[in-house]
Structure 1
Amino acid sequence: MQKGENTRKHIIAKSAELFNQHGYSGSSLSDITERTGIKKGGIYRHFASKDEIALEAYNYAASIVGGQFTQAVAAQETAMNKLLAYFRVYERVVEAPPFVGGCPLLNMAIESDDGHPGLRQRAQQGLARTLDSMKAIIHEGVQNGEFKADLNVDALATFAFATLEGGIMMSKLEGDNRHMQMNIESFTAYLKQVCLK
């Protein structure tokens, strides 16, 4: 039982890297067997389809990045710095992303927009979780008097997430972290405008 579970975890971890680097559509079952070193029959002993692997692989990649977000946020004391902690995780996205291939949520969202409803639903859930986490931080900042009382929490969370993902996409596409750096600077300046302290 232990060996089977370890094999399943190995398939998920290696497939997560593959999908996040080359996309779901750009990765075949043969690519999975090559990456994992496991034959097709071995793959099918653990998964019914490539879709099932993709869902588990996304969960794995998202949990790695989510853990880094949680750790980065927990190390901060102010709501402003907690929001900026999300950006710091991806500050060097070109050479040192928190998961190989960039942001799993961004990659999944782009690829699954229309063609894969199951993958799209998983990406939507990831979006909702991240926004909820950011909103909780912003609410905390409003309640403790760090942020203005009339701040639109939903709008700020959306702005933060869009700025983060836009910086990731542009930096990855250009192969230069400057877009993330500029977005960090711009978002920091914006947060200072809504801070009371």
Structure 2
Amino acid sequence: MRKSDKTKLHIIMKSAELFNDKGYAGSTIQDIMDATCLTKGGIYRNFANKDEIALEAFAYAGQVLWGHFAAAIEGATTVIDKVTAMCDVYSDTVNNPPIKGGCPFLNTAVESDHSFPILREKATQAFDQMMSFIQGLLQQGIDNGEFRSDLQTESMASFIFTAIEGGIMASRLTRDNKHVAFAKDNIRTLLHSYLVIV
């Protein structure tokens, strides 16, 4: 990797943590300079502006998350176990989130709602991607006979995703991981109600 590419990646990685921790609006170019130990010129040689950094940082954070999810479900054999394993990525969201500052999707979705339309569009795409992935898992469970055919995959995927994101928000607010655990347990219980009884 060329030095310029390494510098650009360094800016993206540090900015991803910074934006996730302090928010996009709450972070300045000076904050990025402090986090990266680079000069303003070093930043602007690689990016035109803070918006460009934010888009790259959000994409990078998404890649990191997908890496955690892929590793979590690798050894799982049933769909219920795969979904539960995905929830476990945030089991210690208070002290040890997969990315410093919590869930980048949740943080970005809230912050970009009105103030940053392009970032909101990227967050919407990430939401659609996650929904599609969870729906695919649920459909796999129907196709392989794990779940009954009356399971509504879109509705269930929406519940799973929003329940765990809500659990993350509540756990980080209260500094208590129990809310993520509650969400996971209720998701698992609901999925069990659709198991095929043999």
Q: TM-score, normalized by length of structure 2?
A: 0.97
Match for residue 4 of structure 1?
4
Matched with 1:154 is 154
Post-superposition, which runs of at least 4 consecutive aligned residues in structure 1 deviate over 4 A? none
Q: Deviations over 1:7-32 (max 9, x none)?
A: 10110000111000000000000100
Structure 1 portions without partners, runs of 5+: none
Report what 1:56 is aligned to. Answer: 56
Aligned residues: 197
Write the mapping of 1:27-46 to structure 2, written as runs, cut at 5 A: 27-46=27-46
> Which residue of structure 1 aligns with residue 186 of structure 2?
186
Any residues of structure 2 matched to 1:119-158 within 5 Å, and which?
Answer: 119-158=119-158
Name the counterpart of 2:65.
65
Q: Residue 171 of structure 2 aligns with which residue?
A: 171
Query: Alpha-carbon deviation of 1:74?
Result: 2.1
Matching residue's letter, 2:29: L
One-letter code of the match for 2:195?
C
**Match of 2:110?**
110
Q: Which amino acid aligns with 2:57?
A: A
1:32-76 residue CA offsets vs partner (Å, 9 max, x unmatched): 001101111110000001000000011111111111111112221
Which amino acid is the alignment partner of residue 70 of structure 1? A
Pairwise CA RMSD: 0.9
Render the CA deviation track for 1:128-178: whole Å, top value 9, x for unaligned: 111111011000000011111111010000000011100000001110001
- Paired with 2:166 and 2:131, the residues of 1 have a C-alpha distance of 15
* Runs of at least 5 residues in structure 2 that lack an aligned partner in the other structure: none
CA–CA distance in 2 between the matches of 1:57 and 1:67?
15
Q: Deviations over 1:64-91 (max 9, x none)?
A: 1111111112221101111111111101
Q: What corresponds to 2:81 in structure 1?
A: 81
- Structure 1 position 91 matched with structure 2 position 91: yes
| Amino acid in the other structure paired with 2:99 | F
